[in-house]
Amino acid sequence: MIQRASLHVEVADGSFPHEKVVTFLAGAQKYSLFVDERDVNGRSIDVAVVAFNGDSVLIDLPSDTFTSGSRVWVPRTLLELDSVAA
């Protein structure tokens, strides 16, 4: 079972009509990525949890960020964890 979580993000319009730009801050690092509008739930997106390290959580995003890949460390405070299977 893969643990899921909701990641708190800022949401703005994307380049295509069906997409949104979501942005979040992980420490000093700002991440942005495009996601489909159907994957935005208010001001959060669904992510998969990969690992924990203290107060940091390694997550898989639904697509690549512009500054790195789709797997990033974020503060636990940005997440609402649940245990629903993918």
Partner 1 sequence: MILSDTEIIAALENQQIFIDPRPTPDKITTSAVDLTLGDTFLKWDFDLGSGISFSVDPAAIDYPQLAAKYLKSMPIDEHGCVIVRKGEFVLATTAEYVRLPESSRLAARVEGRSRLARLGLAVHLTAPTIHSGFRGRITLEITNQSSLPILLRPGSSICQLII
User: What are the residues binding partner 1 (CB under 8 A)?
Assistant: 1-2, 12, 14-19, 21, 23, 32, 34-36, 38-39, 48, 60-63, 66-67, 70, 85-86
**Rounded to an integer, what is the distance from CA 31 to the centroid of its chain?**
9
Give me the residues paired with residue 6 across strands: 46, 80
Q: How far is the CB of 1 from partner 1 (least distance, A)?
A: 8
Instruction: Give the residue with the Cβ less far from partner 1, 21 or 26.
Output: 21
Instruction: Give the residue with the Cβ less far from partner 1, 16 or 52.
Output: 16
Separation of alpha carbons 54 and 18, rounded Å: 37
